[in-house]
Homo-oligomer: A and B are copies of this chain.
Amino acid sequence: MIAQALPSSVVIREVGPREGFQIIPKVFETRQKLSLIEALVDAGLAEIEVAAFVRPDKVPSMADAEAVVAGLQPRPGVSFSALYLNVKGFQRCEATGVLSNKAWLYTSPSETFLRSNSNTSIDESLASVPLWCDEFHRAGKGVHGLMISTAFGCGFEGAVRAEAVVNLVERYLAALSGLGESLAEICLADTVGVAHPNSVRACVQLLRPLGIPLSLHLHNTWGLGVTNVYAGLCEGVSIFETSIGGLGGCPFTPGASGNVATEDVAYLCHALGVSTSLDLDKLCCAAELAESIVGGPLASGVYKAWRHSGKKVW
């Protein structure tokens, strides 16, 4: 009866151990992070972003990135990655020898956001593509993906039109093409959580003719995270970046919702008959562990309901 052909299965990429701790003004123990990563692996997550290689003075909660990576237990079929934003960070990732990091380029359609977040402009970020490609090649990698922050809107410039994102992608593709490179994935990140189903669908529809797999990194700021995942599924998107328990906001600041929760997305997918590699009960156990680590209540709908219903999933 349902008109949309939803994907038969999706990949859920966990970013909680990185994005979940990054914003919290508190330093967690490396062993706590490792125990959470273990629980996530047990729950079936096969792609986990475990840390960010960024400046320790700017993000103290990520100062132990090397230690976290050193403590990882290799598991068949599970790939661990880390975030980097500049060449030094990429080199630190590579130096670990453990991470299966793909080569990502980072940009945004918002000049103001780029300036504020990375002290660069769109033109400058495009001009850096050859340097990045050289760096990737030195590590034996071709370009994998383009991560587009604030793809649907930002606090500085308001709503972003889908046409602006397409234009940005086309400029990157032109720059890459001259270097014999292409894109195997475009990740649309709703960095500040202002996407809605129409903006998600419009952007996916406009990008689809490029034939490049699209992924969505959604936040739950205004409560639309799961709804936007559903909009993405309706448009055939089959890769989602999520965070266990909805980590990614600050649990000490009421109302600061984080990423869309891994268990909420898994629950939605399973209800819709879209398969994931995930065990929902174990995800809720991992969310419980995350909650005990951060020490504040997590906002995920499924986790809350699971607790309330005697730790049973409907």
Interface residues of A (CB under 8 A from B): 1-3, 162, 193-194, 196-199, 201-202, 205-206, 220-224, 226-227, 230-231, 234, 253-257, 261, 264, 267-268, 271-273, 297, 299-302, 304-309, 314
A304/B202 contact (C-beta < 8 A), A226-B226, A268-B224, A314-B222 known: no
A223/B302 contact (C-beta < 8 A), A1-B201, A1-B202 known: yes
- Compute how far the CA of A302 lies from the CA of B257 in the bound complex, rounded to whole angstroms: 10
- Compute how far the CA of A201 lies from the CA of B1 in the bound complex, rounded to whole angstroms: 8
A264/B223 contact (C-beta < 8 A), A255-B308, A273-B198 known: yes
Choose among B256, B272, B314 the residue that contacts A197 (Cβ–Cβ < 8 A): B272
What residue of chain B has the Cβ atom nearest to residue A246's Cβ?
B223
A305/B2 contact (C-beta < 8 A), A272-B198, A273-B198, A297-B254 known: no
Q: Check B271–A224 contact: CB distance below 8 A.
A: yes
Give the number of copies in the complex: 2
Q: Check B301–A224 contact: CB distance below 8 A.
A: yes
What residue of chain B has the Cβ atom nearest to residue A309's Cβ?
B255
